Structure 1
Amino acid sequence: MNIHWLDWCIIGAMPTGIFLLAQYSRRYLRGVADFLAANRVAGRYLLTVSNTFLGAVWLVALWEMTYSTGLPPQWWSLLGTPVSLFLALTGFIVYRFRQTRALTLAQFFEERYSRRFRLFSALLCWISGVLNYGIFPAITARLLVFFLRLPGTVEIAGHPLPTIPLMMLAYLSLAVFVACSGGQIAIMITDFLQGSIMMLSFVVISLYLLANFSWPELMAGLACDTPPGVSRIDPLVGSATSDFNIFYFLIGVVGMIYNARSWQGNSGYNAAAKTPHEAVMAGVISNWRTLVSNTSVAILIPLTAYAVLHLPQFAGLAVPIQEQIAAAGDAQMQRQMTVPLAISNLLPPGLFGLFAAVVIGTAISFDDTYLHSWGTIFIQDIVVPLRGKPFEPGRHLRLLRLSIVGVAVFAFLFSCLFDLKTYVLQFFALTGAIYLGGAGAVIIGGLYWRRGTTGGAYLALLSGTLLGFGGIVLEQNWSRWTNTAFPLNGQWIYFIAMAAASVIYVLGSLLLPEKQPFNLDRLLHRGRYQDRQECSETAAAGLPKLGRLLGIAADFSRFERLLFYGSFAWMTAWWGFFLIVTLLGVLRPDWLPATFWPDYWYWNVWLNIGMGIVCTGWIFCGGCRDAGRLFRDLQGRRIDYSDDGFVTKPPTNR
């Protein structure tokens, strides 16, 4: 290990800054609503920057995918462009969920269906979530250990101890401290620090890689060792692995609509927006936040690693990297650590420390969000409803903190014992299917269909759970039972669960009807139940028809309308380009020149970086403003100790 002193200073600054901000945020925590959702006073830019949802484990997952398949997944991800546009501009699910004022998704389930269903759904959600989170500490700790090139063991009190469990313990401890100290307030403000540094850092790292590794070299690297009939550059030829082909992304598109707001790994953010309008605006702005980070993480970094490890002109750089990869462990760990080890050897002093600080920041910020979500869901949606009455605020907060610690302990033990046998992204799909397979139908039906019933909701969630659990059991044991590979990956199991649950929810609601349709106006605080302080008026007749279709309301500012129209134009242009090129490539491939795809990826990278630099500055400044407003609003608010997520009134249709 030979790391420059400048890098150690930069690396140390990240956890120190996170600790100090978390400590400072504690003074603003005065009630349960503060701990769960920052008392619902977060602005759009703060939500956008803080809720980056690009953790260290996701870095490994994306690097693993791109290194295995090349660039085709980036092309097929454009399949979801119109869906992203629809979700961002219309506020589908997002707006109505915020209208309910529920602090957690299961609280909404109780208000819409029943307390027993809240318990049932919360238990499934929690089991699915903690299993999904269970591999985070191991993968994150491996990334940190291998990237920092730390020794495999360290000696403490004369006894050699493995480094990876110690790293898990160290970073989890800081994540637990953040989540427990100030709850969602501390999480949001420390995640803002990490998100801001991440956006700015990836601009610098992207420019460095492009300046030191030419685009022809990156393309030549991808062309190496490519079997006949597949390509790591041209998405229309064929994928280098069947796990991440076009069907993986088509299923993902379906899941984007079906499970909007279903996954509760960031439940605190789902309820933290100041108004439903701010929640929608945060979704629109988020489409511009990720331009540079996605380009750097999903394209430039893994492509650089691939070129260095495959091209003869980089043999001198590749030899020590390959030796480190060979010493990393089994084949699964070697595959996960290939890109981290490569990039750690390629960055100069200063940039190495900056990138390491980003990795540490993403590790802490991602895990504190997950720990907070699954810890609070266990108390809010399982313990409190079972008890049947609310806790005293001080005791309530103590239980929330103890639950967070419990989730961290489980994840630590699970990571030490579980042997991951598939890609990280496929494991996410598989464990997520336990809950997400049925949750989408229950949420959409509950928010948009008055005739959706509790019976239909039970049946939908049960079907998704059985398929999800069954998939895990089969995937883990199929090869041992049959000596063959399991024919379905996690993504296909996820799709089957979604389709089955949707049909079962509709049929179950029709076959098990309730006495009268549900009163959605009361649930959504509309009509005579309307909250004037949070209401965003519906589109006025004087607005253009396109504006009304996009969900623009009469009280939108000029800049907000411009942002909506700009997002619509940008994403529609990309979708049109995707359709035209895909059709040409399939029907008339001779019309596309041989250099089309290398040229396209080149200009795509530079366009995203150029746009991303502008958007990074804009969003960062807005986030700083919103962070100041967050503390000001928390300081001057009136505390409502009864706002703790406990539902005192049963669901009613009156």
Structure 2
Amino acid sequence: MPLRKEPFKPKAHMWILRGSIVSVAVIGFVFSLLFPLKDYIFMFFQITAAIYLGGAGVVIIGGLYWKKGTVSGAWAAMITGSVLALSGIALQTIWKHIPVFVSYSEKFPLNGQVMGFYTAMAAIIAYVLFSLFGKKQIVDMDMILKRGKYENREEKELVESHVHIKEINRFWKFIGVNSREFSGSDKFLFLFMFLYTIYNISAVVVLSVMHFGGMMNDYRWLIWWRLMLSVNLTIALVSVVWISIGGFSDLRKMLYKLKTIVRDNKDDGWIEKSKIEESENKKITKVCNIDDKE
């Protein structure tokens, strides 16, 4: 856990989480009241989201799928993302008050979307560089992700009882569906999201070609956005009904489990350094034994 050597007690941990949630809500409310917008609202969403997500994205993905990722790399990514995003917001605000900047351009030349992209790219570079050239850390991914000898047998049996054991065809495998992890409804949702993503990517490519080819005018853009509005509204209405029914059903199940579950206070996401070091020593010993045999 960042900035701490010892884990919180369960009660203190819960109060800190609650305080963090309330603090974020209060800060967001006050900030939205006082801060004047200098960009379109969706562009502003992108750059404000990049304050956290600009660095958090690569930290989450790298932490889960790259065993060479390190704590210093994660901090470098988060700091880079936050500093660049905040700098972009600050420049948008003060740009017109600095004559040297105004002589170059009347307003800050980058919008929130572009700044968010550059912020994410810079955070990725920082994460990779600090992880590769900083202090090396060998992490046992099986232990972190509860795989192999660390997996929970009860959870595995529970998952297997709710999935289709029958082998799936090549199409499902091609798009990434695993028969051991996807139920029938999971497959339907996955296919819908897959096709919707293909649809959006295709739309970007086709519209970009038409735009730069001089085939798009205001009338055609209006037709396109009417179509997009209709599609998104339909998806939203269906999703609200579906998620509401499923959400209330799962809420009832969750409340029941909270009353009956046997709690393990040690299961709080904390990874003990001693266990990581023990895992590293086992790996080193294994490698040495292999070298000796060779």
Residue aligning to 1:508: 130
- What is the deviation of 1:652? 1.1
Give the alignment partner of residue 551 of structure 1, picking from 152, 172, 176.
176
Q: Which deviations, in whole Å up to 9, do the C-alpha atoms of 1:2-38 show, x marking residues without a partner?
A: xxxxxxxxxxxxxxxxxxxxxxxxxxxxxxxxxxxxx
Tell me how far apart the structure 1 counterparts of residues 218 and 119 of structure 2 sit (CA, whole Å). Answer: 41
Residue aligning to 2:9: 391
Residue aligning to 1:299: none
Greater RCO structure (CA 8 Å; 6+ sep):
1
Root-mean-square deviation (CA), in Å?
3.8
Tell me how far apart the structure 2 counterparts of residues 472 and 566 of structure 1 sit (CA, whole Å). Answer: 36
For residues 425-574 of structure 1, the aligned pairs below 5 Å read 425-482=42-99, 483=102, 484-514=106-136, 517-535=138-156, 542-555=167-180, 556-573=182-199
For residues 592-603 of structure 1, the aligned pairs below 5 Å read 598-603=222-227
1:601/1:542 CA distance change after superposition, 3 Å: same
Tell me how far apart the structure 2 counterparts of residues 578 and 473 of structure 1 sit (CA, whole Å). Answer: 31
Pairing 1:652–2:276 present: yes
Tell me how far apart the structure 1 counterparts of residues 153 and 232 of structure 2 sit (CA, whole Å). Answer: 40
Q: Does the aligned pair in 1 maintain the 2:164–2:183 contact within 8 Å?
A: no
Pairing 1:631–2:255 present: yes
Tell me how far apart the structure 1 counterparts of residues 231 and 7 of structure 2 sit (CA, whole Å). Answer: 55
For residues 327-346 of structure 1, the aligned pairs below 5 Å read none
Amino acid at match of 1:447: L
Percent identity, please.
34
For residues 110-121 of structure 1, the aligned pairs below 5 Å read 110=1, 118-119=2-3
1:481/1:397 CA distance change after superposition, 3 Å: same
1:469/1:638 CA distance change after superposition, 3 Å: same
Amino acid at match of 1:472: I
For residues 244-283 of structure 1, the aligned pairs below 5 Å read none
Tell me how far apart the structure 2 counterparts of residues 599 and 420 of structure 1 sit (CA, whole Å). Answer: 29
1:621/1:423 CA distance change after superposition, 3 Å: same
- What is the deviation of 1:601? 4.6
TM-score (norm 2): 0.70
- What is the deviation of 1:575? 4.2
Q: Does the aligned pair in 1 maintain the 2:85–2:119 contact within 8 Å?
A: yes
- What is the deviation of 1:519? 1.3
1:614/1:462 CA distance change after superposition, 3 Å: closer
Amino acid at match of 2:152: D
- What is the deviation of 1:520? 0.9
Q: Which deviations, in whole Å up to 9, do the C-alpha atoms of 1:403-461 show, x marking residues without a partner?
A: 55555555565556544444444444334433333332322222111122333333333
Q: Does the aligned pair in 2 maintain the 1:539–1:548 contact within 8 Å?
A: no
Tell me how far apart the structure 2 counterparts of residues 444 and 508 of structure 1 sit (CA, whole Å). Answer: 16
Deviates more, 1:447-456 or 1:550-559: 550-559
Q: Does the aligned pair in 2 maintain the 1:539–1:552 contact within 8 Å?
A: no
Tell me how far apart the structure 1 counterparts of residues 49 and 115 of structure 2 sit (CA, whole Å). Answer: 10
1:429/1:561 CA distance change after superposition, 3 Å: closer
- What is the deviation of 1:564? 2.9
1:466/1:596 CA distance change after superposition, 3 Å: closer
1:397/1:455 CA distance change after superposition, 3 Å: closer
Tell me how far apart the structure 2 counterparts of residues 612 and 431 of structure 1 sit (CA, whole Å). Answer: 25
Q: Does the aligned pair in 2 maintain the 1:539–1:551 contact within 8 Å?
A: no
1:413/1:636 CA distance change after superposition, 3 Å: same
Aligned length: 268
Q: Secondary structure at the match of 1:485?
A: coil
1:531/1:415 CA distance change after superposition, 3 Å: same
Residue aligning to 1:33: none
- What is the deviation of 1:398? 4.5
1:565/1:462 CA distance change after superposition, 3 Å: closer
Residue aligning to 1:621: 245
Q: Does the aligned pair in 1 maintain the 2:55–2:79 contact within 8 Å?
A: yes
Residue aligning to 2:209: 583
- What is the deviation of 1:527? 0.8
Tell me how far apart the structure 2 counterparts of residues 488 and 578 of structure 1 sit (CA, whole Å). Answer: 21
- What is the deviation of 1:544? 1.7
1:541/1:456 CA distance change after superposition, 3 Å: farther
Pairing 1:640–2:264 present: yes
Tell me how far apart the structure 2 counterparts of residues 521 and 437 of structure 1 sit (CA, whole Å). Answer: 27
Amino acid at match of 1:473: A
Q: Which deviations, in whole Å up to 9, do the C-alpha atoms of 1:496-529 show, x marking residues without a partner?
A: 2222222232222222252x63211111111111
Q: Secondary structure at the match of 1:652?
A: helix
Q: Does the aligned pair in 1 maintain the 2:164–2:184 contact within 8 Å?
A: no
- What is the deviation of 1:479? 1.4
Tell me how far apart the structure 2 counterparts of residues 456 and 623 of structure 1 sit (CA, whole Å). Answer: 37
Structure 1: 5+ residue stretches without partners: 1-109, 111-117, 120-384
Amino acid at match of 1:636: T
Q: Does the aligned pair in 1 maintain the 2:78–2:123 contact within 8 Å?
A: yes
